[in-house]
Amino acid sequence: MLGVATSEVEVSLASNKGFWLLLKDEEFFVPYTEFPWFKQATLEQITTVEWPAPNHLYWPLLDVDLAVESIRNPSLFPMVAKPTSPAWTPPKAQKTDR
């Protein structure tokens, strides 16, 4: 039958700003500004998505897990990133007496 979705979860369109995600009868835009894990991903990585539980999505090729609610309301799930170690800086050049 034409026009009937064959999958309960599907990525319908991807651009340089984000992608559209279809979940049953809901459609969401997933912007890379809110979900930066997808920005450098290939189309295959983005479109290979699983929906193992009602509030859980998984992208196995990226090893990314997201709660569906975080896509519905990203402002309720602010990203907080803290470096795990100090940033590496090259050693300063040593002056030598020659």
Which tens digits make up the pLDDT trace of 7-41? 689 999 999 999 999 999 899 999 999 999 999 99
Residue type, 14: A
Q: What is the predicted pLDDT for the residue at 75?
A: 84
**Can you list the domains of the chain with their CATH numbers?**
9-76 (3.30.2020)
Residue 90's pLDDT is what?
A: 55
Nearest to 31 by CA among 39, 23, 40: 39
Residue 95: DSSP 8-state:
P
In degrees rounded to 5, what are phi and psi of residue 78? Answer: -65, 140
The pLDDT tens digits of the residues spanning 46-92 come to: 999 999 999 999 999 999 999 999 999 888 887 654 444 455 455 56
